[in-house]
Structure 1
């Protein structure tokens, strides 16, 4: 029997929360948060709007979940990378850049959404999310400041340098193409070099 185009109950259950979030990222990346409806997300996911509401209370909760999971994963990976990098500021900065670049290239649509739609988050969720982003920035700030204090980095503007490095690394999601001449690993290595140049690393 031909399909009616209406998602079945079995299909709705099979898609689940992860499928809905993936669909939401896809649609919002194309049309923006305000240009996307719950029905748009449900249709892209292949579920009914009712099935979507089984997992999420609203479109706002969908966006909040996407952004919360993203920043949580980034913070976890960054803390792990720093723990494994040792004590040398150069190695620690390289580790930070590696995580920041590769994370933002894993799912470019998702990370771009997280950057562009921060304004769409409602309070108090927006403030909580900003606080977690600030935690990520402070990890860079701390490594650069430590390097300056130990004479390994020579930049006279450590806070500005750390901020510029984060912006640079985050921005790869907006331009990288898998069809381009550079692969992800090479982009990461070049950005490590740029970051060390920005902080005036001695002998690195």
Structure 2
């Protein structure tokens, strides 16, 4: 009976985009449980026992797969940025040469990931301060990689004469921050569809960089 209950509890953990096909099933369940628990309680408000219980397993088994709760947070943030960077790079590859299309592509990718992976995005954005130095350095480096995709896209538009902003880096930062903030206020089933939110952010981004229509 205990095995049946444990399996049922594991199936009840909401899935997360952070798990990978080659993950050990228990490790994947623990990562999904960490997302579920930390999204509600925050990193400091979540204990190893809370996460283990949500996964239907024990703290001892959690420590078998992850060195610590900190290790879980590093994995969560690191993989979340991998998802974001990959989506943005793929969008750029498909966008073609027009600077407006390219900026629209990175905006759509960034906003899309923050809506589709809202819990993961909220944790990744808010809990960087809880990371210890080594983990923080890894995560900040990947955040900088994503930021540079926006910076480069805006600079290319200015160079090509399509964007007129005199402050391309500031404009790129403004756009990136606005797109990241979607995770904090987006509500599925709210007044606007995901497609409408993406379209509005594209339009705002083009206005921010002074796009020549």
TM-score of the aligned structures, taking structure 2 as reference length: 0.88
- Equivalent residues, number: 199
- Which of 149, 159, 170 matches 1:160? 170
Runs of at least 5 residues in structure 1 that lack an aligned partner in the other structure: none
Q: Does 1:199 align with 2:209?
A: yes
- Give the drift of 1:54: 2.1
Question: In 2, are the aligned partners of 1:90 and 1:201 still within 8 Å (CA)?
Answer: yes
Q: Does 1:85 align with 2:99?
A: no
Cα distance between partner residues in 2 of 1:17 and 1:168: 33
Mean CA deviation greater in 64-73 or 16-25: 16-25
- Which of 69, 72, 75 matches 1:65? 75
- Give the drift of 1:15: 5.4
Question: In 1, are the aligned partners of 2:78 and 2:138 still within 8 Å (CA)?
Answer: no
Q: Does 1:121 align with 2:140?
A: no
Cα distance between partner residues in 1 of 2:100 and 2:145: 20
- Which of 42, 46, 49 matches 2:56? 46
- Give the drift of 1:179: 2.4
Cα distance between partner residues in 2 of 1:178 and 1:105: 8
Question: In 2, are the aligned partners of 1:7 and 1:48 still within 8 Å (CA)?
Answer: no
Cα distance between partner residues in 2 of 1:15 and 1:79: 29
Cα distance between partner residues in 2 of 1:22 and 1:102: 20
Question: What secondary structure, in the 3-state scheme, does the structure 1 residue paired with 2:123 have?
Answer: helix
CA RMSD of aligned residues (A): 2.0
Question: In 2, are the aligned partners of 1:148 and 1:154 still within 8 Å (CA)?
Answer: yes
TM-score of the aligned structures, taking structure 1 as reference length: 0.91
1:174 corresponds to: 184
Cα distance between partner residues in 2 of 1:79 and 1:121: 26
Question: In 1, are the aligned partners of 2:110 and 2:179 still within 8 Å (CA)?
Answer: yes
- Which of 140, 153, 162 matches 1:143? 153
1:107 corresponds to: 117
Question: What secondary structure, in the 3-state scheme, does the structure 2 residue paired with 1:163 have?
Answer: helix
Question: What secondary structure, in the 3-state scheme, does the structure 1 residue paired with 2:143 have?
Answer: helix
Cα distance between partner residues in 2 of 1:131 and 1:97: 20
Runs of at least 5 residues in structure 2 that lack an aligned partner in the other structure: 12-23
Cα distance between partner residues in 1 of 2:116 and 2:3: 35
1:96 corresponds to: 106
Runs of 4+ in 1 over 2 A off after TM superposition: 3-8
Cα distance between partner residues in 2 of 1:124 and 1:178: 35
Question: In 2, are the aligned partners of 1:29 and 1:113 still within 8 Å (CA)?
Answer: yes
Cα distance between partner residues in 1 of 2:4 and 2:84: 38
